Amino acid sequence: MAHFTLIARINAGDGRFPFVNVQFTKTHRPIPIAGATYYLRRSGGARTPIRIGKDLAAAQAAFLHMDDREILNEVREVTLRAPSNKSVGSQRKTVVDAAREYLERSKQKSRKTYIGYRTAVDLFTHSCKKSYFDEIRRDDMLDYVDLLRNCKSAKTGSRFGESTVFNYFLKTMVFLNDRGIARHVTKEDWVQKKDWPVNVDKRNKNKKYSTYPEEEIAALLHVADNTEEALVRFLLGTGFRIGEAAVAEWSDVDWGEKTVSVRFKPELGFKPKDYEERAIAVSDTLLACLKKYRAIARGDALIFPSPITGTVDKHLDRIIYSLIKKANRAGYVVRKPRKPCHAFRVLYATRRHQKGVDIETLRQELGHSDISTTQIYLRSADRKSDGHRERINQADRFSLPPASGLAAQTRGKLVLFSDFALREEQFHSRRSEAKLVTNPDEVQ
C-alpha cells in the first residue's frame, strides 16, 4: 500500500530549486511556504512526485483524499460527502492501516515528538477491539483511558500518572481527528469533554519555575568575560528558549528596528515551538553588548556557536554552569538552578511585567500558545525581595489626616448644620406669620 508525503519545491536563491517537506502545525494543518509549488511524493515504487500547484488548499485536499490504489496525474475535485456510519467495503480502512499511514506522515516531526505519537497510537491500536476505523465509538475511547491508567512505565515500573494519561489521550485524539473520525461517528456517540482525563499540568496553579535574584545577575555579569556577558544579556534581553538561542544567527538581529527574530531554519533542523515565528524588541544595552561581542565572535552565522564543534550544540547550559562556578569562586553566592538558561527566561518575563508590560504582549514575546503558562512564569517572581515586601507594607498603610485638619473639617460640618437649622427655623416662622394673616378669624 502506497503512502504519500506533501512536499514543496522552493527557490533557494542560488540557482537551486530543492524539495523540502511541508511542515504541519500541531493540529496537522500545513504551513504555507511563500512562492512554493506543492507536490505529492509516494513512498516506494516510482519516486517522481505528482505536481499539485501553488494552491496549498488544493494540495492539502489532494493529500487527505489520495486513493492508495492509484496515482493521480492531476488534482481531482474533492466532493464533500455527508457523514455516514457505513462506508463502501472497498474504501474501508482498518485501524492498523490508518495508524500506519498517520505514523508515516508523523516522521516529519522531531524525533522526540514522533516517539510520543508513535507510543500513543500503538497503545490505542493494540487496545482497540474494533477492526475498522469507522467502527470506533465513545466506548472504545473510554476503554482506552482505562487502559492508560493501568499501564506501567518500562523505566519505573509504576503506573502512568494523570499527566501522562492526558498526553497520550490527546495525541490519540489528534490521530483520530487527522484521519477523519468525524465522518464516521455522530457527535452524540463521540467522547465529550467530561470523558477526557484531567490535564494535571493546567490544573496545577501552584507550579513555579526557578529564576535568579537581581544580586546574582549582577555577580554573574561582574565576573563574566565578553562571550559570557553577551550570552547572559542575550538570554535576559530576549527571553529565548535554549534551543532558540542555540540557533540564533546574526541575520536574525535587525539593528534598525532593534529586534531579534525567531524563525524557521530547515538547514539547521530547527522549527519554532508551535510553529510560531516572532520578533522581540530588545534594549539598547543588549544591542551595544552584541556589537561589542561581534568584533570577537568566531563566525558570521551563529551568534553563539559551540566552542568545540563551531556549530549548533547543547553547550549554552555548560557555559552558564561554568560562569556560576566562577562567580562562587570569586566569593559571590549564586545558586545553580536545574535549567540555568531557562531561569533567565523566567526573569525576562517577571522583570518586564513589573515594569508595566501587559501579559498579552509577554505571551506573544515568549511564544506561549496559552496565557496560563505566562501566568505561571509571572508567579515565579522572587516574593522575598525587598521591593515586594515594601509593596506589601504600603498596601496595608492607611494614613489619617492631621488633627488640626480633622477638627477644621468637623467644625465646618457643624457650621453647615447650624446654618441649615437656622434657615429651617426661619422658614417655619414666616409660614406661621403668613397663616395668621390669611386666616384672622382663627386667631380668636
pLDDT of residue 132: 92
The count of C-alpha atoms lying within 13 angstroms of the C-alpha of 38, restricted to the half-sphere facing its C-beta, is 24
Q: What is the pLDDT of residues 309-355, one digit of tens each?
A: 555 666 888 899 999 999 999 999 999 888 889 899 999 998 898 88
Q: Is the pLDDT of residue 381 over 80?
A: no
Whole-angstrom distance, CA of residue 96 vs CA of residue 119: 14
The boundaries of the domain holding residue 282 are 214-389
pLDDT of residue 444: 41
Once rounded to an integer, what is the mean pLDDT over residues 349-369?
Answer: 88
Q: What is the pLDDT of residues 306-319, one digit of tens each?
A: 766 555 666 888 89
pLDDT of residue 314: 67
Whole-angstrom distance, CA of residue 265 vs CA of residue 248: 10
Whether 69 is covered by a domain: the verdict is no
> Which one of 46, 64, 82 terminates a domain?
64
> Which one of 175, 203, 231 terminates a domain?
203
pLDDT of residue 401: 62
Provide, rounded to the nearest whole percent, the portion of the chain with pLDDT above 90: 28
Once rounded to an integer, what is the mean pLDDT over residues 103-110?
Answer: 82
Whether 125 is covered by a domain: the verdict is yes
Residues 305 and 190 in one domain: no
Residues 26 and 149 in one domain: no
Q: What is the mean pLDDT of the chain?
A: 78
Once rounded to an integer, what is the mean pLDDT over residues 257-282?
Answer: 86
Whole-angstrom distance, CA of residue 185 vs CA of residue 242: 43
DSSP string, 358-403: -HHHHHHHHT-SSHHHHHHHHTTS-TTSHHHHHHHHHHT--PPPPH
Look at 136 and 298; give whichever has higher pLDDT: 136
Whole-angstrom distance, CA of residue 189 vs CA of residue 57: 30
E strands in 70-210:
none
pLDDT of residue 54: 86
Q: Is the pLDDT of residue 67 over 80?
A: no
C-alpha Rg value of the chain to the nearest Å: 34
Give the phi and the psi of residue 21 in degrees, each rounded to 5.
Answer: -75, 140
Whether 56 is covered by a domain: the verdict is yes
Whether 11 is covered by a domain: the verdict is yes
Residues 239 and 384 in one domain: yes
Answer positive or negative: Cα dihedral of 31, 114, 160, 196: positive
Whether 102 is covered by a domain: the verdict is yes
> Which one of 165, 182, 203 terminates a domain?
203
Whether 169 is covered by a domain: the verdict is yes
Look at 282 and 437; give whichever has higher pLDDT: 282
What does each C-alpha distance from 284 to 150, 266, 290, 318, 346 come to in angstroms?
Answer: 55, 30, 10, 27, 21
Whole-angstrom distance, CA of residue 136 vs CA of residue 128: 8
Residues 169 and 293 in one domain: no
Residues 317 and 293 in one domain: yes
Residues 340 and 367 in one domain: yes
pLDDT of residue 277: 86
What does each C-alpha distance from 16 to 10, 12, 36, 209 come to in angstroms?
Answer: 8, 6, 13, 46
Residues 250 and 114 in one domain: no
Residues 153 and 54 in one domain: no
Whether 139 is covered by a domain: the verdict is yes
Residues 266 and 381 in one domain: yes
Residues 253 and 312 in one domain: yes
Q: Is the pLDDT of residue 126 over 80?
A: yes
Whole-angstrom distance, CA of residue 297 vs CA of residue 278: 25
Q: Indicate the number of domains in the chain.
A: 3
Residues 192 and 170 in one domain: yes
Once rounded to an integer, what is the mean pLDDT over residues 11-34?
Answer: 76
Confidence of residue 140 (pLDDT cuts 50, 70, 90): very high
The count of C-alpha atoms lying within 13 angstroms of the C-alpha of 208, restricted to the half-sphere facing its C-beta, is 13
Structure letter (DSSP) for residue 441: G
Confidence of residue 259 (pLDDT cuts 50, 70, 90): very high
Residues 268 and 335 in one domain: yes
Q: Is the pLDDT of residue 410 over 60?
A: no
Closest Cα partner for 301 from 268, 275, 336?
268
pLDDT of residue 89: 45
Whether 422 is covered by a domain: the verdict is no
Structure letter (DSSP) for residue 182: G
Q: Is the pLDDT of residue 238 over 90?
A: yes
Confidence of residue 72 (pLDDT cuts 50, 70, 90): very low
Q: Which CATH number do you get for residue 339?
A: 1.10.443.10
